[in-house]
Amino acid sequence: MSRWAMIMAGGAGTRLWPMSRREQPKQLIPFIDGQSLLEVAAGRLEGVVDAQRRLICTGQGHLPAVRARLPEFTEDRLLGEPCGRDTLNAVGLTAAVLHKRDPDAVFAVLTADHIIEPQDEFARCLSLAFDLAEDDPARFITFGITPTYPATGYGYVQLGEAIDGFDGAHRTGRFVEKPDEATATSYLESGDFAWNSGMFVFTASTVLAAIERYQPEAAAGLARIAEAWDGDSQDDVLGEIYPSLPRTSVDYGMMEPASADDDYQVCTIPMEVDWMDIGSWPSYGETLEGDEQGNQSNGPAVHLDSSNMLAVTENPDHLIATIGCDDLVIVHTDSVTLVCPRDRAQDVKALVDAVEEERR
């Protein structure tokens, strides 16, 4: 079997507006030491998956920006979705293309919006997952992040019995969507649950068979796309069929039913890493060092009698200055400046909707 990897780089990332925009979604913002989250994700594959066997799945409209930031990804390794149809179809499209090119392909599905450290632990877990899938193609492997607090914004996966011969791997008990705080606390105390990372490893042929079983309408459309792939009608067929595929997530549409199906074995590998989901401005702030008053900035900033401020700018020559402010987020771009309390940062998505309505 040959090992491949696909980085999912879809999504708008509206909670990181105004830097995250249609033409530059959050995975392409160069705000991690000058690199984008997508570049960081691609770098994690060094020494783990051969460079020629790495793919990126993103929106067609973002392909030029992806090519500009990651020119090493040649045209044949970029999968452009005509529109977002949720994660099952992104995974299914990858499986269909890989299976046509390489019937023995086993591939990892990785995210483009996380900081994961240390690299050695990530590489160890990914290698173990490939070993599991190669040993038994009926296995679906996911990764569980060891929780550090009772998070209610993440899904959870239950760790079942250990798998003989694969130290650190477990059978998967069940998947749980975002629990309430009391339930999340009980999960943390039990030690039997991990955060669902949204990353997977499986064989392309097994994915296609499972989609055919659980999501036959999607399977039929993906089969037509695969038939045309790498041919003259590839783009036309993709543009016609892909938008009609039923929307569903890979967890709900495949992993959960497979965990209750004796024909498949769903496994979880706990990943002992620092895992940061860069999904809001406060979470981005955690990547920055703060001063003695807790003020954080990615560029020039001066704070007088201010504390716990997050100041972010696209322009390295633009100074952000405050007096007597506390617990605010300030984000400056050439066309928009955002100011909000830190504890209202999750409402940025609603603000984007209001801005778009006002402009209409």
Quick one: average pLDDT of 324-340? 97
Give the pLDDT of residue 279.
Answer: 87
Quick one: average pLDDT of 80-93? 95
Residues 280, 349: Cα–Cα separation, whole Å: 10
Percent of the chain residues past pLDDT 90, beyond the cut: 89
**In this structure, which CATH number among 3.30.56.10, 3.90.550.10, 1.10.10.10, 3.90.1150.150 belongs to the domain 2-277?**
3.90.550.10
Quick one: average pLDDT of 19-44? 91
Q: Which two tokens stand for residue 207?
A: 């994915």
Give the pLDDT of residue 277.
Answer: 87
User: Which one, of 129, 135, 175, lies nearest residue 155 by Cα?
Assistant: 175
Quick one: average pLDDT of 311-317? 94
101 φ/ψ angles, rounded to the nearest 5 degrees: -80, -35
Confidence class for position 356, pLDDT limits 50, 70, 90 = confident
Q: Cα–Cα–Cα angle for 196, 255, 187, nearest 5°?
A: 35
Whether the pLDDT of residue 67 is over 90: the answer is yes
Q: Which residues pair with 56 in a beta bridge?
A: 7, 78
H or E stretch at 57: strand 54-59
Whether the pLDDT of residue 357 is over 90: the answer is no
100-148 pLDDT, tens digit each: 999 999 999 999 989 999 999 999 999 999 999 999 999 999 999 999 9
Residues 92, 248: Cα–Cα separation, whole Å: 11
Quick one: average pLDDT of 248-275? 94
Give the pLDDT of residue 254.
Answer: 96
Whether the pLDDT of residue 161 is over 70: the answer is yes
Give the pLDDT of residue 360.
Answer: 67
Residues 258, 214: Cα–Cα separation, whole Å: 9
Mean pLDDT taken over the chain? 94
216-227 pLDDT, tens digit each: 999 999 999 999
Confidence class for position 13, pLDDT limits 50, 70, 90 = confident
287-296 pLDDT, tens digit each: 999 999 999 9
Q: Where are the domains of the chain?
A: 2-277, 281-359
Give the pLDDT of residue 23.
Answer: 81
Q: Which residues pair with 170 in a beta bridge?
A: 162, 268
Model pTM?
0.92
Query: Given the structure tokens 């067609």, which residue do they identify?
Result: 60
Give the pLDDT of residue 153.
Answer: 85
